[in-house]
Amino acid sequence: MTEYLLTLLMSGLVTGSVYTVTALGLTMVYGILNLMNFAHGETYMAGAYFGYFLLAIFGVSYPIAVLGAILGAALLGVVLEMVAFRPLRNAPQLSPLIASLGVSIFLQNLAMLLWSPTPRMFQTPYVDQIVQIGVISMSMQRVIVFIVCVVLIVALYLVVQRTSLGKSMRAVALDAEAAALMGIDSRMVILATFAIGSALAGVAGALVGPILILSPFMGVPIILKAFAVVIMGGFGSIQGTVLAGFVLGITESFGVLVIPTAYIDTIAFVLLIATLLVRPTGLFAERVEENV
């Protein structure tokens, strides 16, 4: 029984770390632009495919493939910001939201056209390498997913809190106009935010791709979870997102004890509704005034 519970805990930590990293990208863009970017899931999908092609077609090693996926996803984010979102900067708030929906549908169909709707398996040497951690066994790939995600979460926190870029980001999030008056190039800051946020989605995709199955629609389930995490975490709060991401991952994992696997996806929304009932501003509502 302890073995079973520990396995579920590990599984929850791995899933939670992926939810967190994906949701962090989403929450960063939200914090700065008040934009819920629906296309974030497709950036995650693209990251997984970039990694897959680099490894399977160009034969580079897995770490290089992940790096490639990060760069590719960041580039995709920058292009999307310039083409789809920047022209709508002064439009009503609903317009960029709908634009992001459009981009999401466009990218799914583009992926179907370019890469065919047939699902693919992303094989890395680490998938079949089994490691024994105490009484439980899991693949090296899952361990890598967890470690890299945790490193990324810490790195992102440090970037936002300690660097001048992070300070500029927080300034733009507080008040873009005032930040611009203080000499901050808000366009560059927004671009950088999109690049970092998309890179996070891309790296998440390239990391979990090998333990999932790649398809042009793989971004849809993860974006729903990431939305729930962002809202639970209190829109734009890094600490809140991290907490909510891990809570969701672990709850889902232990959920199999009480409900059938097919209904696991409902947990995210039950948690979301429960959070909104108890704390309507999310777990960490530190910036609630800034966002209204």
Partner 1 sequence: MKHVLALVGFFAAVCTATTASAAEVKVGYLLPLTGGGAEYGQRQLKGANLAIEEFNKQNAGFTIKLITSDTKCTPVEGANAAERLVERDGVDVMIGGSCSPEAIAALRVTQKAKVPHIVPAAAATSITEEGNQFVFRIVPNTKQIAENLADTLADRIKVKRVATVFLNDDFGIDLNTNFVKRIETKGVKVLAQEGIERTTMDFFSTVAKLKPLAPEYVVAPLFNKPAAQLARTMREQGMTAPVSDTIMLTDEFHQLAGPAAFGTIQTTFFHPTVKTEIGRSFVDRFKAKYAGELPGNFEAEGYDAATLAIDALKRSGADKAVSREKVTAALRGTRDFPGVMGPITFDEKGQVVAVASKFVLIRNNQGKVEAMD
CA-CA distance, 196 to 78, in Å (whole number)? 9
Instruction: Annotate each residue in 230-259 with x if it binds partner 1 (CB under 8 A) or - if it does not, as one string.
Output: ----------------------xx-xxx--
Q: How far is the CB of 161 from partner 1 (least distance, A)?
A: 32
Identify the residue among 58, 128, 266, 269 touching partner 1 (CB under 8 A).
128
Please count the residues of this chain forming the interface with partner 1, following the rule CB under 8 A: 38
Which of these, 275, 269, 179, lies nearest to 225 by C-alpha position?
269
Indicate the residue among 130 and 158 with the shorter CB distance to partner 1. 130
CA-CA distance, 82 to 76, in Å (whole number)? 10
What residues from 129 to 148 belong to the interface with partner 1 (CB under 8 A)?
130, 136-139, 142
Q: What is the residue whose two structure tokens read 């090296």?
A: 140
Q: Is 56 one of the binding residues for partner 1 (CB under 8 A)?
A: no
Q: Residues 51, 179: contact at Cβ < 8 Å?
A: no
Which region among 91-99, 157-165, 210-218, 228-236 touches partner 1 (by CB under 8 A)? 210-218
Provide the 10 A C-beta neighbour count for residue 73: 30
What residues from 179 to 198 belong to the interface with partner 1 (CB under 8 A)?
none
CA-CA distance, 195 to 115, in Å (whole number)? 24
- What tokens does 176 get? 């873009």
Q: Is 32 one of the binding residues for partner 1 (CB under 8 A)?
A: no
Q: How far is the CB of 56 from partner 1 (least distance, A)?
A: 13
Which region among 6-14, 54-62, 154-162, 180-188 touches partner 1 (by CB under 8 A)? 6-14
Q: Residues 6, 136: contact at Cβ < 8 Å?
A: yes
Q: How far is the CB of 259 from partner 1 (least distance, A)?
A: 11
Q: Is the dihedral of CA 137, 226, 160, 201 positive or negative?
A: positive
Q: Is 218 one of the binding residues for partner 1 (CB under 8 A)?
A: yes
Q: Is 221 one of the binding residues for partner 1 (CB under 8 A)?
A: yes
Indicate the residue among 216 and 234 with the shorter CB distance to partner 1. 216
Q: How far is the CB of 136 from partner 1 (least distance, A)?
A: 8
Indicate the residue among 147 and 256 with the shorter CB distance to partner 1. 256
Q: How far is the CB of 14 from partner 1 (least distance, A)?
A: 8
Identify the residue among 57, 261, 277, 292 touching partner 1 (CB under 8 A).
261
CA-CA distance, 84 to 91, in Å (whole number)? 12
Indicate the residue among 169 and 208 with the shorter CB distance to partner 1. 208
CA-CA distance, 242 to 93, in Å (whole number)? 26
CA-CA distance, 289 to 250, in Å (whole number)? 31
3-state secondary structure 215-278: CCCCHHHHHHHHHHHHHHHCCCCHHHHHHHHHHHHHHHHHHCCCCCHHHCCHHHHHHHHHHHHH
Cα torsion at 280, 285, 288, 289 (round to 10°)?
120
Q: Is 262 one of the binding residues for partner 1 (CB under 8 A)?
A: yes
Question: Residues in the site for partner 1, rule: CB under 8 A?
Answer: 1, 3-4, 7-8, 11, 14-15, 117-119, 121, 127-128, 130, 136-139, 142, 208, 211-213, 217-218, 220-221, 252-253, 255-257, 260-262, 264-265
